[in-house]
Amino acid sequence: MKQIIIAATILIGINSFVKAQTIQSSSYSTTGYIKSDGTIQNSSYSTVGYIKNDGTIQNSSYSTIGYIKSDGTIQNSSYSTVGYVKSDGTVQNSSYSTVGYVKDDGTVQDSSYSTIGYAKGVKREWAAVTFFFFHFN
């Protein structure tokens, strides 16, 4: 689950006129993008998933793979809780163990506070959700 957490990114609660947000690794190389319509792309601009306004998370085939609830609970497609995003940016697994952090400035860290990437200008909850379900290599 930790490898899934160390992945990549986001839904921005903004309108369709805003261009895609860039997701970067700790070395600032681009690993992906999220467009204002919720489309998630890898660094080659291939679509790897979608985040819907209602919190539904889908893969590139439009199959539902999870959900993010308004209280920060992250669920898989079977509605089993797989994690939580707290209001301070702490990301926890289903056992409430801290697996990472999404800082106010968009810096994403693992549980040891090592920077694993950047998701600037993105809501914490959506950055964390993408870390649970998408991995860009």
Which contiguous run of DSSP H or E holds residue 133? helix 124-133
Per residue in 33-73, pLDDT tens? 888 788 888 889 999 999 898 999 999 999 999 999 999 99
The domains of the chain are located at 2-133
pTM passes above 0.85: no
Amino acid letter for position 124: R
- Separation CA 101–CA 94 (nearest Å): 15
- Separation CA 53–CA 106 (nearest Å): 21
pLDDT at 101: 92
- Separation CA 74–CA 19 (nearest Å): 26
pLDDT-above-90 percentage for the chain: 39
Rounded mean pLDDT of 18-28? 79
